[in-house]
Structure formats: C-alpha cells, structure tokens
C-alpha cells in the first residue's frame, strides 16, 4: 500500500474550532477530494503562537511588503509574537516531510494572495500575504502551496494535485 502524501493545512479548514470567533472554516471539498489520498498536518498559527479562541480579530497594517499584525479594535501589535512562532514552526515542519500546504485564504496569518493590508488612514491595499504563509514559503520555496478558496476551481485543484505528485516524485516527502 502506498503511503499518503503529507500536506500541511490551516487547521480551521479541517473543522477545528480555532478561528477568532470560535468557529471553523470546514472545507468538505478538501476532505472529500484530497482527504483519502493525503495525511493532513494541521497548523493554526494564531492559536499555536498563543492567542486565545475566541479572540479579537487581527489585521495587517502598514507596508504591504512588511506589514505589522495588530488586533483590529485595540491595536495590540502581535507581529513579533507571530513572526517568532512562524519561523520556529516552519523550521519544525521540516521534520514533517510535507509535499505541499493548503492555506486559508484572506487570513492575516495564512493568506497567500490578496490579503488586505490597512494603512493609518483606513485605506486598504489587497496585496498582502499572511505572516505565517510568508515565513513558510520563504523556508520552503519549492513546495507546492495553494489557498483553500482557489482550490474550489477544478482546474486549479487539478494543477495543485499535479504539482503535489511531481514534487513527491522529486523529494522523499512521505
């Protein structure tokens, strides 16, 4: 029997109650489509770095290329907490032999593309990347990554699966 491919995934997508509001973002498509063939490694940056559930929402602020992670209402800066954790967790994930990662879209910690970054005047630039997603992709620049919402598109799902299989052929990631 072939071992399943190991893929990291934002924990909320598996139905874990880790979101800021105490809920989840369960994605049945990911479990039904990929679930039988993969071994998911759940990661929740916000909970794992020490934030509570529920918690005040966090947002990205400042320079889209180097944003700060702050609580939305009270402005508590969580950047150093998240960056330190993200670097350590990414390093620890080397031991997991991952072949890919699926991130929760729009998340200030996990979003890969078009995450909102707010400026001091309340303006929004939709070009940010979540702080954990940034740390992970820097440490693992060749591992296939994708956002959950984009995988709802059958063509993008097929491309992601193809990239996982291709990566697995070239690397011992199971």
pTM for the model: 0.95
3-state secondary structure the chain: CCCCEEEEEEHHHHCCCCCCCCCCCCCHHHHHHCHHHEEEEEECHHHHCCCCCCCCCEEEECCCCCCEEEECCCCCECHHHHHHHHHHHHHHHHHHCCCEEEECCCCCCCCCCCEEEECCCCCEEEEECCHHHHHHHHHCCCCCEEECCHHHCHHHHHHHHHHHHHHHHHCCCC
Neighbour-count burial of 91, counting CB atoms closer than 10 A to its CB (0-12 exposed, 13-18 middle, 19+ buried): exposed
The CATH number of domain 5-56+79-111+129-170, selected from 3.30.300, 3.40.50, 3.90.25, 3.30.70: 3.40.50
Q: What pLDDT is recorded for position 26?
A: 95
The rounded average pLDDT for each run of 10 residues, N- to C-terminus, in the chain (174 residues) is 86 97 95 92 97 96 95 96 97 95 97 95 92 97 97 96 92 68
Neighbour-count burial of 36, counting CB atoms closer than 10 A to its CB (0-12 exposed, 13-18 middle, 19+ buried): exposed
Structure tokens at 94: 């080397």
Structure tokens at 22: 């105490």
């Amino acid at each position: 029997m072939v071992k399943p491919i190991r893929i990291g995934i934002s924990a909320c997508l598996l139905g874990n109650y880790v979101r800021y509001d105490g809920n989840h973002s369960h994605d049945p498509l990911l479990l039904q489509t990929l679930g039988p063939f993969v071994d998911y490694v759940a990661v929740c940056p916000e909970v794992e770095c020490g934030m509570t559930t529920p918690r005040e929402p966090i947002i990205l602020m400042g320079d889209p290329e180097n944003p700060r992670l702050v609580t939305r209402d009270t402005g508590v800066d969580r950047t150093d907490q998240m960056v330190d954790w993200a670097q350590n967790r990414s390093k620890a994930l080397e031991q997991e032999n991952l072949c890919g990662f699926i991130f929760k879209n729009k998340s200030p910690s996990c979003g890969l593309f078009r995450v909102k970054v707010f400026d001091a005047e309340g303006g929004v630039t939709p070009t940010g990347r979540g702080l954990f997603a940034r740390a992970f992709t820097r440490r693992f620049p060749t591992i296939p990554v994708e956002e959950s919402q984009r995988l709802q598109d059958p063509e993008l799902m097929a491309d992601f699966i193809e990239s996982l299989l291709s990566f697995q052929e070239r690397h011992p990631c199971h």
